[in-house]
Amino acid sequence: MLRILLFLGTNLAVFFLVSVVFSMLGLEGILAANGVDLNLQALLVWSALLGFFGSIVSLLLSKTMAKMSMGVKIIKSPQTEFERWLFRTVQMQAERSGIGMPEIGIFDQAAPNAFATGWNKDAALVAVSTGLVEQMTREEVEAVLGHEVSHVANGDMITLTLIQGVVNTFVFFLSRVIGHIVDRAVFKVERGYGPGYFIVSIVAQIVLGIFASMIVMWFSRWREFRADAGGARLAGKHKMIAALKRLQASQEAQMPGELVAFGINTGRMSKLLSSHPPLEQRIRALEAAN
């Protein structure tokens, strides 16, 4: 989940910042022929440039942002017996998966967590939290590492970037079309753009961005099942199931009383915006796999 949140956070920041700057500088004026008609072809090209710029920048900055925001300590030269085991395990899994050796890191977080990120398969980062190391057995940690290495081997970050770029493009394109229509039909602006265009465009961009996030999150949830299968292949099916059950128990233990149901059985909207499927679904999928 951290991998997705960091990527989406950076992408949204770049996307909206560039969008606002372009609007303030009046660069969107080139999209209107004679200041009246909307040039849809030019708008689509402009939208694609802006949409993919945000997602590509997010991908290129993914490792740097992860290290800075999570305080990841990179293991360059293993010192302890556990660090040597961690290094050997990731190295073996990377070789079996046909990818370059990722950087390995540990970040200080009480909850069991892990993520993998990076702009290509041979320049990735795999990091685990101190909570995961302390609360899981080595067999379970091995399965989690296999899950994250599988994300890298499957090219999930690159594919996510392409999907995010496409949805960004349509969010920007449709929000400007809606703003243009409202500006002409409601506010009766005949030439150029009035304040209504910019206000409506920004509101439409936010609303459409929520629906776009649902598409990206659906893709993310689907890829989690694939990464679980990859973790089972690299570490063993029983280890992957045990790791997921450990995470499930940890979630329930951290939520007292009535909050347990809220955390595990989220509402419909929360499920649509979740980057990971419910743990019980992931466990059932692995148990049913051959």
Position 21 scores a pLDDT of: 56
User: Which candidate in 28, 140, 142, 148 is catalytic?
Assistant: 148
pLDDT at residue 271, rounded to an integer: 74
pLDDT for position 42: 77
Contacts for 160 with CB less than 8 Å, ≥ 6 apart: 4, 7, 216, 219, 220, 223
pTM: 0.80
CA distance 279 to 115: 16
Q: Look at residue 56 in the predicted model and tell me its pLDDT.
A: 87
Q: What is the pLDDT of residue 26?
A: 52
In a domain, 257, yes or no: yes
Residues whose CB falls within 8 Å of the CB of residue 29, separated by 6 or more in sequence, listed in order:
35, 192, 193
> Does residue 134 belong to any structural domain of this protein?
no
Q: Which of 100, 120, 113 is nearest to 145 (CA)?
A: 113
Q: How far is CA 283 from CA 157, 180, 185, 245, 290, in A?
A: 23, 48, 53, 7, 13
134 a catalytic residue: no
- Tokens representing residue 144 in the block: 């989690």
At residue 262, the pLDDT reads 31
- Residue 1 belongs to domain spanning: 1-69+156-290
| Residue 119 belongs to a domain | no
The verdict on residue 256 lying in a domain is yes
The DSSP code sequence of 154-165 is TTHHHHHHHHHH
Bridge partners for 105 per DSSP: 74, 127
Q: How many structural domains does the chain have?
A: 1
pLDDT tens figures, 201-224: 999 999 999 998 898 899 989 999
Position 82 scores a pLDDT of 95
Residues of the chain with pLDDT under 50: 4, 7, 27, 30-36, 255-267
In a domain, 42, yes or no: yes
